[in-house]
Amino acid sequence: MSTDTLRRLTATEFTLFLRDKIGPIFGVLFPTTLLCVFGNIDFFTDPANGVDGQPLLYTYTPILVGFVIAMLALNTLPPTLASYREQGVLRRLRTTPVGPAQVLGAQFAICLGTALVSVVLLLAVARLGFDVPLPRQPVAFALSAVLAALALIGVAVLVAAVTPTAKAANAIGSVLFYVLMFFAGLWLPIEAMPPALRHVSEATPLGAAVQALADSTEGHWPPAWRLLLLAGYVVVTALLGVRLFRWE
């Protein structure tokens, strides 16, 4: 396969991703808008209401990074992959020299690339618009974000693998999104959760991810077990997803 093919595939899938609007709106515009809304509410910016003497907005920035990743992975990938299978798009591609695997590769690249753009935008607006400090340990932050993205994409592929239709994939993806976002602290920051709930949170992929992002935002490396847990989610979901995925 030539590089022209790969470029054309990725460009075409990206065009469809933009045309679909769901990913760009909910994965890029929405999280940053949410940040701006929080940033304009005194409750979020007054250190008196925050955790450890920090404004709540500081706590919410890594949560919103998790939100970006979960939104892009769970709400765009499963319906796209399941509808490609349902409509015979993947079956048609199996008769060409390219095959469907490369198309999924293009989807994966788009998801990861869009997440990167969205996270950079979010952090830039947080820093410039609302004086939220940038991550003090950027390498750990980047590593945590990439691991989180891979883990969530793995979960998304798994959802696409086990759901028969695009509708079902959409429904399961959304439900999972809210459940994982709950454990990531969107409605109640992990620090404010009762201990039992906090333990459950830290074991979920997005809870672990947000904690790792929060650690590196504050300037220290997340504990190794947290990163290993995320890496474990990546490996397990990738293996299961690839094993269970059906082209037809």
Partner 1 sequence: MTAVIEVQELHKRYGDKVAVDDVSFRVEEGEIFGILGSNGAGKTTTVECVEGLRRADRGTIRVFGLDPVRDRAELTQRLGVQLQGAHLPEKLRVGEALELYRSFYRRPADPATLMAALGLDGIRQTRFGKLSGGQQQRLSIALALIGNPRVAVLDELTTGLDPRARRETWRLIEDVRAGGVTILLVTHFMDEAERLCDRVAVIDAGRVVALDTPAALTKRAAADLGAPRATLEDAFVALTGENADVH
Binding site for partner 1 (CB under 8 A): 1-2, 4-5, 8-9, 12, 15-16, 19-20, 83-84, 87-89, 91-92, 94-98
Q: Distance between CA atoms of 83 and 117, rounded to whole angstroms?
A: 26
Closer residue to partner 1 (CB): 66 or 78? 78
Q: At closest approach, how far in Å is the CB of 142 from partner 1? A: 32
- Name the percent of the chain in helix, strand, coil, to the closest 5: 80, 0, 20
Closer residue to partner 1 (CB): 20 or 191? 20
Closer residue to partner 1 (CB): 12 or 40? 12
Closer residue to partner 1 (CB): 18 or 228? 18
Closer residue to partner 1 (CB): 6 or 146? 6
Q: At closest approach, how far in Å is the CB of 150 from partner 1? A: 25
Residue 173 burial by CB count (10 A; 0-12/13-18/19+): exposed, middle or buried? Answer: buried
Closer residue to partner 1 (CB): 5 or 33? 5
Q: Distance between CA atoms of 239 and 61, rounded to whole angstroms?
A: 31
DSSP calls for 179-240:
HHHHHTTSSS-GGGS-HHHHHHHHHSHHHHHHHHHHHHHHTSPPPHHHHHHHHHHHHHHHHH
Closer residue to partner 1 (CB): 12 or 33? 12
Q: Which residue is associated with the tokens 């990913």?
A: 23
Q: At closest approach, how far in Å is the CB of 111 from partner 1? A: 16
Q: Distance between CA atoms of 227 and 157, rounded to whole angstroms?
A: 21
Q: At closest approach, how far in Å is the CB of 108 from partner 1? A: 16
Q: At closest approach, how far in Å is the CB of 26 from partner 1? A: 17
Q: Distance between CA atoms of 100 and 85, rounded to whole angstroms?
A: 10
Q: Which two tokens stand for residue 146?
A: 């990439």
DSSP calls for 132-163:
PPPPSSHHHHHHHHHHHHHHHHHHHHHHHHH-
Q: At closest approach, how far in Å is the CB of 158 from partner 1? A: 22
Q: Which two tokens stand for residue 5?
A: 């093919």
Q: At closest approach, how far in Å is the CB of 97 from partner 1? A: 4
Q: Distance between CA atoms of 66 and 82, rounded to whole angstroms?
A: 24
